[in-house]
Each structure stands twice: as C-alpha cells, then as structure tokens.
Amino acid sequence: MINQIDVLDKGFVRLVDSMGNDQRIVDAARVSYSNHENEWDDKRDPKLIRYLMRNRHTSPFEKVRFEFHVKAPKPIAVQFMRHRTGSFNEVSGRYTEIRNEYYIPEEFRTNEGIKNKQGSQVGEFDHEVHSEWAYSIVEGDNNYRYFLKNNVAREQARFVMPYGFYTEFYWTIDLHNLLHFLSLRMTSHAQAEIRWYADALFELAEKVSPIAVEAWYEDVFLGANLRLEEVTTLIRLLDQEELTNDELTLMSKLKGRLKNS
C-alpha cells in the first residue's frame, strides 16, 4: 500500500499509522445492541455503514484514527490547524534552524474578474513577476541566516522568514473529523493548494476505510455541494419533464463539476 503522496513541489502527505477500519465502524455501531459479531458480512455491513453515514450517526466513525506526517508551506499548514479536532506536533523554529525550502508555484493566479472574494484563477504574468518572487524568497532567507550567524536567537530570527517556507507536522485525527476537514477543503471554494492536500488525504483514508469514505463521498459530499436549483432540475429530469435551455446548460456544468470532484 502506498503510504505517501507527494503534493506541490516539495510537500507530501504520509500515512504513518492507523487504527481501525470499516470493520471497527460496524462493531462500534452494533455494540449498542450488545451485538458482538466480528465477522465481516459483504451484504449487510456496507449497507449499515451507508445508513450510519446518511443519518449522521457519527460516533462509530470516530473509532477509526489516523496519524499523518504532513510537509506543507506555512500558509497551508495554518489552514490545517484551523481544524481544532486534530492533535498537532509541528517542527519548532525555536529549537532548530528552519530549512531553506520554499514553495515555488508552477503558475501564478489572479483575483481579477472573480466575484467570489476567496476565489482565484490562473493568470498571465511576465517573467519579471516570477523573478521577483524568487528574489523575495532569497532576500528574506538571507536575512534570517544573517541574524542566526550574528547570534540572534532562533525564536526571534524566524520573524523575518518569508511566509512560504515549508514546515512539517504530525497530525492525529479520527475518521469523522477527517471527513469534516475534507468536506471543507475539497470544495471549489477552498484554496487550490489545500485542495491538493485534501485530495491526498482522501486517497490515503480510502485505503484504510474504503466503504466508509466512499459512502461519505457519494452520499454526503456530492449531495451537500448541489445547489437548490441543481436539485430541482434533477428532479424535473427524473420526472422526464422537458428542460429549458438554461436548465440544460446547468446540467452540463454540473456534469463537468461532478467529474472533477
């Protein structure tokens, strides 16, 4: 089983350890009825997991736990740590010298023409922009090294570091809260870089609890990201009603969005 997925130019997500799987979810659910069956039933157990997922019976999913090792640019790491349901241990700039590793995007994005304040799209930039990005990183990193060489404490010298440096952390989280993280970070509203990390986490979690993760993706994630007008149009389509041109366009866009989800 592949336990590490590379993300961005120098980052990764690695599954260090896990506890439990789909079987553990089923066992935790059935113990409520003093039922201690521990043999997997290919017909009944997947149905039970989907029932639990659809009806938001969340506690059985908390019995599956993950330990991830993540290497990510600092602004992306901060977005991970917004989710307080996990436990974090991060490399400390107080105790060790921060490595000279920075995120260099393959392409730059712009907010121009985007109504959503959180959104961005790939833009066209001249060579000067790329050069200035690299120059800013080198200048900031050189300043940091200068202060270290002149005996400024690491805990103070790190304040001049460029914000895009790579950090590493261990992250412990249960399946229920991991899926909540993914529900926010895999959507089109999330920053592209955190979406790519979320995609890697999804793939690794799926190897541990494939049925539960698939149930969440199909029954919760995709459904939760349908707008009311899309649901209404789907109902009309299922009722074999003739769709308007606007509705046909909406369905075409939805099909493309679901393929890219």
d(CA 254, CA 230): 8
d(CA 165, CA 159): 12
Contact 184, 190 (CB under 8 A): yes
Percent composition of the chain: helix, strand, coil (DSSP 3-state, to 5) = 50, 15, 35
What's the sign of the alpha-carbon dihedral 194, 195, 196, 199?
A: positive
Least confident of 76-80, 123-127, 192-196: 123-127
Mean pLDDT over 207-236 rounds to 80
Number of Cβ atoms within 10 Å of the Cβ of 27? 18
DSSP conformation letters of 86-123: SEEEE--TTTSPPPS-B---SS-EE-TT-SSTT--EE-
d(CA 224, CA 227): 8
Pairing of strands 109-110, 121-122: antiparallel
pLDDT of residue 227: 64
* Mean pLDDT of the chain, nearest integer: 87
Q: Give the active site residue among 185, 195, 227, 257.
A: 185
Query: Per residue in 10-52, pLDDT tens?
Result: 999 999 999 999 999 999 998 877 776 777 888 899 999 999 9
* Residue 118: pLDDT band with limits 50, 70, 90: low
* Domain spans in the chain, listed from the N-terminal domain onward: 1-103+166-225, 106-163, 226-261
CATH architecture of the domain with range 1-103+166-225: 2-Layer Sandwich (3.30)
Please determine, for residue 226, whether its predicted confidence score (pLDDT) is greater than 70.
no
Please determine, for residue 259, whether its predicted confidence score (pLDDT) is greater than 60.
no
H or E element at residue 18: strand 11-19
Rounded to two decimals, what is the model's pTM? 0.83
- Closest Cα to residue 172, out of 89, 71, 92? 89
Query: Per residue in 148-191, pLDDT tens?
Result: 999 999 999 999 999 999 999 999 999 999 999 999 999 888 99
Active-site residue, 185 included = yes
